[in-house]
Amino acid sequence: MWRRLRTNRAFQLAAGTTFASYFKFVARTTRFVIEPADVFDTIDAQLPAILTFWHGQHFLTPFAKKPHHQAKVLISRHADAEINAIAAEKLGVGTIRGSGATSRRDFHRKGAVSATYELLSTLEAGITVAMTADVPKIARKAGLGVVTIARYSGRPIIPVAMATRNRITLKSWDRASLNLPFGRGAAVVGAPLYVPREADEAALAAARDELQARLEAVTRRAEALAGGRATPARSRLA
């Protein structure tokens, strides 16, 4: 039944629209702090950039941008991801369809080749891209995808974490957080990470390890701020 329903276009549109409306409601009713508080004063100089975050922590990321920021997000071609794609479009974020892969066969089947070219051309056009750092089924372990895009584009990677105190942790492979309204929230942005064009395999692996460390750090900080276990560096931003 679910297999038939998830591929029904009317259902996908209804679900995607509902999700977008729900997360708008969550964002409007959550008391967010942003760290660093002056990030929007400095981030424009880094654009276009590659925003990255963990799988399952992405529901509120469309609200981490200002109205004048252009962005596209990488979303898989899987039927279940169609709802996410519709929700993203409803929230003003463009989509690039494709996903990471753990084998050469999957690299072509999942559209990684075409997605890579589209990510690079999007950045070349001056539009920021957003993508998860971890590959499917391997939660919170950074793959080489993000650092490879950074290497060939010359654009910085900006690690981002968003958390809310009120949330449900789903029993999915990515431990996805279903954010709930009426509570405290936090968005933490890490320092930009550049990958040189001449980076070899060892340098790419080192960049991936550094990205792993930075994402773990911003995630810990966001969860601490959202949970009231840390003091914001500066005043709250509405």
* 142 within domain boundaries: yes
Average pLDDT over residues 84-103: 83
Q: What is the pLDDT of residue 108?
A: 45
What confidence tier does 103 reach under pLDDT thresholds 50, 70, 90?
very low
The two structure tokens encoding residue 218: 């911003």
Which helix (H) or strand (E) segment is 158 a member of? strand 157-164
CA distances from 223 to 32, 160, 187, 237 (A): 12, 12, 9, 17
CA distances from 191 to 27, 43, 52, 170, 225 (A): 24, 10, 12, 29, 18
- Measuring CA to CA, which residue among 40, 68, 3, 26 is closest to residue 185? 26
* 237 within domain boundaries: no
107 against 81, higher pLDDT: 81
Give tens-digit pLDDT for 119-165.
999 999 999 999 999 987 888 999 999 999 999 999 999 999 999 99
Q: Which long-range contacts (CB under 8 A, 24 or more apart) does 194-201 make?
A: 194/150, 194/154, 194/156, 194/157, 195/147, 195/150, 195/151, 195/157, 196/151, 197/151, 197/152, 197/154, 199/147, 199/151
* 233 within domain boundaries: no
What confidence tier does 94 reach under pLDDT thresholds 50, 70, 90?
very high
* pTM for this model (two decimals): 0.88
* 236 within domain boundaries: no
Q: What is the pLDDT of residue 170?
A: 87
Dihedrals phi, psi of 165, to nearest 5 degrees = -65, -45
Give tens-digit pLDDT for 183-206.
999 999 999 999 999 999 999 999
Average pLDDT over residues 30-34: 94
Count CA within 13 A, CB hemisphere, residue 233: 12
* 231 within domain boundaries: no
Q: What is the pLDDT of residue 106?
A: 47
Average pLDDT over residues 8-29: 94
Q: What is the pLDDT of residue 233?
A: 64
* 77 within domain boundaries: yes
Length of the chain as a residue count: 238
Count of structural domains within the chain? 1
Q: What is the pLDDT of residue 176?
A: 86
Domain ranges, residue 105: 2-226
Average pLDDT over residues 104-128: 79
Give tens-digit pLDDT for 207-216.
999 999 999 9
Q: What is the pLDDT of residue 79?
A: 74
CATH of residue 142? 3.40.1130
* 235 within domain boundaries: no
What confidence tier does 111 reach under pLDDT thresholds 50, 70, 90?
low
* 149 within domain boundaries: yes
Which residue's structure tokens are 């064009």?
Answer: 197
Examine the pLDDT at 109 and tell me if it is beyond 60.
no
**Which region holds residue 100: left if phi is over 0, alpha if psi is between -120 and 50, else beta?**
beta
- DSSP annotation string for 82-129: HHHHHHHHHTT-EEEE----SSHHHHHHTTHHHHHHHHHHHHHTT-EE
Rounded CA separation 164/32 (Å): 8
